[in-house]
Structure 1
């Protein structure tokens, strides 16, 4: 004899459709879910203390005829915004940038700390 399903277990899936009408609908739902996870992660500026965690590069952004110095972190491009001598000042500025909606990374440099802003429309500049 089958046991009745646990109501708490069912409740956690309340807003997830049991069946998707198409593969596109499934991937759209997955994208929304992963975007929610990213927004949780982006509640704080991450200080990257090891250069092994990122790659430096040059990027371009759509509709801007200029190259930017950038870092590549987990497949995402972050454009150099500004440098600060102390970590506290860098974190303070990162907090202000996040308040206006930017996603920010901080890296250590020999002179202090660099702030980098996420550029979702960026592409690598080869020239």
Structure 2
């Protein structure tokens, strides 16, 4: 089970974006968002007033940690949630707009 995300310092010592691990559904709200570079809405979660778009679902915790470490090195903030078949990775979308329910 994922309990902590640790990334190795980048080679050029630039800061690594943090990852949050959401252990309970009460910590986030599922939603849909629009992002500037896409024409269709995407699955997302709302965490403390910030939107994270769905990136990928994986079964193996080691692969999840490897991917969020790479994203963190690119300065992408990420979140991890537990799902029925493993874990979901979400990427922060600072320019996202919420899709209003129809």
Q: Using structure 1 for the length normalisation, give the TM-score.
A: 0.63
Q: Is the 1:44–1:95 contact (alpha carbons within 8 Å) kept by the matching residues of 2?
A: no
1:101 aligned to which of 71, 75, 82 = 75
The aligned counterpart of 1:67 is 41
2:76, 2:64 → 1: CA distance? Answer: 14
The aligned counterpart of 1:125 is 99
Q: CA deviation at 1:63?
A: 4.7
The aligned counterpart of 1:50 is 24
Segments of 5+ residues of structure 2 without an aligned counterpart are 1-14
Q: Partner of 1:77: helix, strand, or coil? A: strand
The aligned counterpart of 1:13 is none
The aligned counterpart of 2:9 is none
- Shift in alpha-carbon separation, 1:85–1:124, aligned structure 2, 3 A: same
- Shift in alpha-carbon separation, 1:63–1:90, aligned structure 2, 3 A: closer
Segments of 5+ residues of structure 1 without an aligned counterpart are 1-39
Instruction: Write out aligned runs for 1:1-127 (5 A).
Output: 43-126=17-100, 127=102
**Higher relative CO (CA 8 A, sep ≥ 6), structure 1 or 2?**
2
